[in-house]
Structure 1
Amino acid sequence: MRYRQLAPGIDVSEVGFGNWTVTTGWWGDYTREESLRLHREAFDHGITFFDTSDAYAEGYAEEVLGEAIAPIRDEVVIATKFGYDITSDHERVGQQERAHRTDVAYISQRLDDSLKRLGVETIDFYQLHNPRMAHIDADDLWAFLEDAKEAGKIRAYGVALGPKIGWLEEGVHAMRTRDVHGMQMIFNMLEQSPGKELLEVAEETGRTMIVRVPHSSGMLEGNLTADHVFPKNDHRRHRPRSWLIEGVQKVATLDFLTEDGAGTGMTLGQAALKWVLSHDRCVTTLPNIYGSDQIAEFAAAPDKRDLTPEELDRVQALYDDNFGVVPEGLPDTDKVNGGVGS
């Protein structure tokens, strides 16, 4: 494992563990014991960065993380998120987004609740969860974060963009107008925009980036086929069939990243992480970890060879040509950029 600086005094493993996959039921069902075991396996493989949110199963994910890292608190970096109303009894339908709530009185209580659930005195990295422009313009909210930092309740703070890919304007505005230490975004070989544009601003402003969905929702693990059927409790089941069919075609063009006659190559999943980490402002990645095999494979990625300039250029050329794939319903002359959705 290798480590990079997220914020002053905060070093993180290049591969982190986002625990939404094993606590929310959107990537399969896990018992509490199974979730705890996977957290601890991740640490045993050198992973020291753990990311969660108070909105993941109404605080359950924070509780699990807190229990898992209790014996090793001083050896890990904890990131959580805030900004959604998790106390409302409004019934949500499917993957419908929650309502935000960011008044200072509410956020102050949520911070204290997160500290209690995590079993810690300080949260290392506190992130505004999927904000809209109005939240970034809320001076009282950002003043509160500074106060919380001064009080020792948080060490650094930032923004997690979402819920889906996009949010360029919000990300740029936050980096240029607020003293954010880092930002979380979706970025991978198949979905490069607006990540590339955000990275340019990160370079300009000196911000660091946390990258989630580096495998494009599992597509870049290289294990999916055009006839794959997702389980009922897998959120990808709700994607249009074209997402799967076109994604598999795109992945087929990336075989050159795993070809190595000497036997010292890497899996596509590892190459996808190395591609993200080839961008200097990207300090850590949050692959979707849902089993022991993923932990072992992904945690080994940083120690694999770096992608060559020629390989990086070839990936870019493929992306610029939509990997040679014509979206369903469009003639050859109407090819468009972009990867699969998230």
Structure 2
Amino acid sequence: MFLLYRQRIRCQPFFFYSCRRLLQNGNMKYRLLPETGQKVSEVGFGVWTLSTGWWGEYTEKQALEFLHRARDLGINFFDTADVYGDGYGELLLGKAFGDASEEVVIATKVGYDFSGTSRGRGQRELPQDFSEGFLRKAVDDSLRRLRRETIDNLQLHNIRMEHVEDDALWALLEALRQEGKIRSYGIALGPAIGWLYEGITALRLRRPSVVQHIYNLLEPFPGRPLMDAAPDQNPRFLVRVPHSSGLLEGKYTAETTFPKGDHRNHRPTHWLPNGLKKVEQLRFLEEPGRTLGQAALQWILCEPRILSCLPNIYTMEQLEEFAAAPEAPSLSRVELDRIEQLIAGNFGIEEPPEAYKGTMISAASA
């Protein structure tokens, strides 16, 4: 069923919105974070690139320069997690914006226990803990590191189905909101691509204000059916990995290699060679005033249910490029139709089945 759905993915109905924008302020454009009234920049900044060592090493001074430059460019939305650098990502945001709580919107995630666990710079998944005592302490610790009284959006980090179905967990989130410790709450799906019915069930059962997931031109599934399950058209989806770990920036070659410990080394072996073939078929999106990387973000932002996209930013050049994406020449109807055709046929490339994680078949059809 899902293979058929994947082949039939069509970028309607969202293309009929003609890349509609909700709010604008200067060059950056903004959308409304549900339940808060806060404006969130269409291009956000995921702090994991600066704080985990998985995308290179940065001094604190360099990291703060990235964050301040992002704010200068109109980016006001920053996404982190308590586990990023074992609290370091939140500490960076606290130092950069601790006195600008009304100007900067911050989302963080909780649910992993990194206390007393040494994993160095490795990427193995840590134990999870969604008990009330653990989460309350995690929220208080995040507030302290962020130098804030309230977290704008708190996400349950990479939840499983048992957490979606846990009434007490969601009652706790609502209690934290009533206590003023958080303004809104949601979920992050992962760590790898998949987790379809964890997301769909949460949308139907819990109505989270935010759902973070992987979605891009090269990996549109299962993001499309996940978003189709949303109860309304309100922007609520945060898209991470919008460039397929850098492929859609259009700068990799067959000779590209990544340093030891780099996140991209965890991709399957066919990801780079097949991705390069797909990218070449998308070169028609490059034109004066618009890079392939900007076009990849525009394609995502054509979907009105998307709140913000979080490109992996690890150079100043990328930061300038991606922040300017909303103002680059818009994708045309012809270009959108051609993209749709390429996606529907998987760019004419035969690939092994994707090793999706999580629940990919509904309980009703199992």
Instruction: State if a TM-score over 0.5 links the two structures.
Output: yes
Q: 2:74 aligns with which of 17, 39, 46?
A: 46
SS in 2 for 1:202: coil
- How far has the Cα of 1:207 moved from its partner? 6.1
Letter in 1 for 2:230: A
Cα distance in 2, alignment partners of residues 290 and 69 from structure 1:
19
Matches of residues 88-237 of structure 1 in structure 2 within 5 Å? 88-89=116-117, 91=119, 94-204=122-232, 206=234, 208-237=236-265
Cα distance in 1, alignment partners of residues 278 and 334 from structure 2:
19
Q: 1:310 aligns with which of 325, 334, 345?
A: 334
| 1:15 alignment counterpart | 43
Cα distance in 2, alignment partners of residues 66 and 140 from structure 1:
30
Does residue 321 (structure 1) correspond to residue 345 (structure 2)? The answer is: yes
Cα distance in 2, alignment partners of residues 93 and 256 from structure 1:
38
**Any idea what the Cα deviations from partners look like across 1:270-296, whole Å, max 9, x if unmatched?**
000000001110121000010111110
Cα distance in 2, alignment partners of residues 71 and 92 from structure 1:
31
Cα distance in 2, alignment partners of residues 305 and 232 from structure 1:
37
Q: 2:297 aligns with which of 273, 293, 302?
A: 273
Distance 1:88 1:142, change over 3 A: farther
SS in 1 for 2:229: helix
With normalisation by structure 2, the TM-score equals: 0.86
Distance 1:313 1:205, change over 3 A: closer
With normalisation by structure 1, the TM-score equals: 0.91
**Any idea what the Cα deviations from partners look like across 1:13-68, whole Å, max 9, x if unmatched?**
00000000011000001111111110111001000000000011111110011101
Distance 1:3 1:205, change over 3 A: closer
SS in 1 for 2:69: helix
Does residue 5 (structure 1) correspond to residue 32 (structure 2)? The answer is: yes
Cα distance in 2, alignment partners of residues 103 and 243 from structure 1:
37
Does residue 290 (structure 1) correspond to residue 314 (structure 2)? The answer is: yes
Q: Is the 8 A contact 2:203 2:231 kept in 1?
A: no
Q: Is the 8 A contact 1:246 1:325 kept in 2?
A: yes
- Bigger helix fraction: 1
Matches of residues 222-261 of structure 1 in structure 2 within 5 Å? 222-259=250-287
Q: Is the 8 A contact 2:106 2:153 kept in 1?
A: yes
Matches of residues 12-91 of structure 1 in structure 2 within 5 Å? 12-89=40-117, 91=119
Q: Is the 8 A contact 2:111 2:129 kept in 1?
A: yes
Cα distance in 2, alignment partners of residues 238 and 92 from structure 1:
17
- How far has the Cα of 1:233 moved from its partner? 3.3
Cα distance in 1, alignment partners of residues 157 and 190 from structure 2:
8
- How far has the Cα of 1:73 moved from its partner? 2.5
- What are the ranges of 5 or more consecutive residues in structure 1 without an aligned counterpart? 331-335
Of 3-12 and 305-314, the range deviating more from structure 2: 305-314
- How far has the Cα of 1:171 moved from its partner? 0.2
- How far has the Cα of 1:92 moved from its partner? 7.8
Letter in 2 for 1:86: F
Of 134-143 and 210-219, the range deviating more from structure 2: 134-143
Cα distance in 2, alignment partners of residues 93 and 52 from structure 1:
17
Distance 1:205 1:141, change over 3 A: farther
- What are the ranges of 5 or more consecutive residues in structure 2 without an aligned counterpart? 1-27, 358-366
Q: Is the 8 A contact 2:155 2:187 kept in 1?
A: yes
Give the percent of matched residue pairs that are identical in Structure 1 and Structure 2: 50
User: Larger RCO: Structure 1 or Structure 2 (Cα < 8 Å, ≥ 6 residues apart)?
Assistant: 2
Letter in 2 for 1:107: L
What's the C-alpha RMSD, in Å, of the aligned pairs?
2.0
Cα distance in 2, alignment partners of residues 78 and 243 from structure 1:
32
Cα distance in 1, alignment partners of residues 97 and 324 from structure 2:
21
SS in 1 for 2:230: helix
Letter in 1 for 2:291: T
**Any idea what the Cα deviations from partners look like across 1:126-150, whole Å, max 9, x if unmatched?**
0000000111111111111111111
- How far has the Cα of 1:90 moved from its partner? 6.4
SS in 2 for 1:99: coil
